[in-house]
Chain A
């Protein structure tokens, strides 16, 4: 038995959604009234129906979907690229020309499908058939493929030969016009699925999964789970795109002044001017913060908490209000969540002793239901056991303390004190090149001194591209 490319497990490959959409469009093209106008193709003596010109296809697409010329041409190209329509004049050139070059539809068996990838056996049979028909005159790359396949699936080669002969005999039973169509179809299919070297491969099947162990039993249990899963997905909370787009626009507007790429950063972008003042001024512990940074804290509570300086300021404020234990509790919970697994039990214990137990020194105010749940969970501590309590305290701070902080004297004073850094003056002479140094890479630092000197020289020439690449 050859290695089967079909996934015979319960896990069936799905057809790619774009292909399903294309199939639907192709079927709608077949409509006798609203579909594409078809003509006959004349080949010396035989007449084959159902040919259409490229311009017909483009015009139909424009009319049906009310789209522009370019878009229709692009969609038409996709059809040809994926093999749903094949050209009759130049079969190897899989593009759509918006003139009177003829095209024809591909039969459903040969449609591009991720569910049924073409197997080597099929390709071998096709090449053998072509070999017979052309009396050995295959194209270069086909000859190579043929020889490669002969080596690879040598054990079924007899079958390949037998089947090729039989398929040719079967097709001889049809009349001439049909035979021509059959050959053109098959050739088009293989041009798409096994493109000649140098052309793009149109489809990516994704990795093959041959896990025979995950054979799914299609019994009642399985279907019950599926139903449950689908029911939950249906009940999922959805936001209308009009609403979330509005908030997205608002977010962008609010943060635009803070974006160093959109607004430029003061004093100067360190990546460009090699001047690290910007980072120094925005480092974690600084005597005087920048105005932008302090403004950012007013955008959302999370911004305030994420900035270490903001957190410290907030803590000072809370101490004045005698509710500092909330923030400490929140921080301790974060530590549990993001810390080492082995230390979790002791950390949780600490938290309990300090914040949650009835006579604790820094007792936090949590409602009874959450407290019960947390105390239950504490018996088997894990990383997320304090999540509910943490969330409760977080919202408490957010709704209560945070707005008051923003209105407080502390914050306003800080905002007044915050500085707006001066933009560094550009050099007076516009053509003077600034000295640029790149920092020595860590790899070089471990080498001997002589190498250092050489490397620095070569690096300074490439410093511009080097720093850009480190961006």
Chain B
């Protein structure tokens, strides 16, 4: 059905937008490299394809006068999601143009900002492109050549958003979100747990200022530790005796 198709396409666009932002954050830093520029280009092109596909689908759905009110509300909600995604994408594209111009790669004295990030962004790009491994085939002058393309693409996106505003009459403030506050905390099994261990290291510093919490955590950890020790001792004793 139209709605499900739309949703999957929007999810894909959402994913690509998130990955694109992630890649743009790495621009200009020590993670920057020719590969990154190529990844940016590919992700951007994919994002644009998805955007165009989404737009045509949604505009046809919204132009259809014969849909029910609920359906229409749902499509309007999807439309708002789409436009927000496009906004983020547009900003990121403009910023990547700016940063890309400020930090060219093929200069004799390259001064990339040493931010502490040294890994590559291949996996992120692979996720965006939905492939297993990324193939890199661009030539050395990609950082300057790509910028010109980027400018034209930004102009295209601008134009597309203007058209969208004109053609589709959706009042964004009338749309009600389905999720309520704190909705992201539910169904976070895959996201929350694995990151908690990592994050606690970074957050240890800010937690210093929050009194009482560190004390509690320490007591809790101490209790668990002693409990584990006790159980190990008991098991060892039993093993030796049996």
Contacts and interface: CB of A to CB of B under 8 A. Distances in A.
Interface of A: 1-2, 4, 6, 8, 23, 26-28, 30-31, 38, 41, 43-44, 46, 48-51, 88-92, 104-110, 115-116, 119, 121-122, 128, 131-136, 139, 146-147, 150, 154-159, 161-185, 187
B182 to A, nearest CB: 7
B95 A174 contact: no
A235 B181 CA distance: 60
B27 A109 contact: yes
Contacts, number: 219
B226 interface: no
Contacts of B26: 107
Given A8-B158, A108-B29, A121-B87, A168 B195 contact: yes
Nearest to A44: B201
A159 to B, nearest CB: 4
Given A133-B196, A166-B14, A107 B117 contact: yes
B84 interface: yes
Contacts of B127: 169-170, 173
B172 interface: yes
B100 to A, nearest CB: 10
13 contacts: A91-B205, A106-B115, A107-B113, A108-B28, A109-B25, A116-B91, A136-B185, A155-B175, A159-B14, A161-B184, A162-B81, A165-B184, A173-B126
Contacts of B179: 157-158, 161
A184 B198 CA distance: 12
Contact of A104 (B27, B84, B115): B115
Interface of B: 11, 14-15, 17-19, 21-22, 24-31, 77, 80-81, 83-85, 87-88, 91, 94-95, 98-99, 102-103, 109, 111-119, 121, 123-124, 126-128, 158, 161, 165, 172-185, 188, 190-192, 194-196, 198-199, 201-203, 205-206, 208-210
A177 B203 CA distance: 14
Given A91-B205, A136-B185, A162-B14, A174 B123 contact: yes
B191 A1 contact: no
Contact of B192 (A104, A132, A171): A132
Contacts of B94: 6, 116
Contacts of B83: 1-2
Contact of A179 (B88, B99, B113, B198): B198
A332 B18 CA distance: 72
A131 B185 contact: yes
Contact of B172 (A2, A49, A182): A2
Sorted nearest first, the 6 A-B pairs with minimum C-beta distance are A108-B28, A157-B177, A166-B18, A173-B123, A50-B114, A155-B175
A150 B181 contact: yes
Given A105-B116, A166-B14, 6 more contacts: A23-B102, A107-B27, A155-B177, A169-B190, A171-B22, A173-B123
B84 A172 contact: no
B177 A156 contact: yes
B113 A159 contact: no
Nearest to B162: A8
B177 to A, nearest CB: 4
Contacts of B194: 172
A57 to B, nearest CB: 13
B87 A27 contact: no
Contacts of B165: 1
Contact of B84 (A8, A159, A183): A159
B205 A89 contact: yes
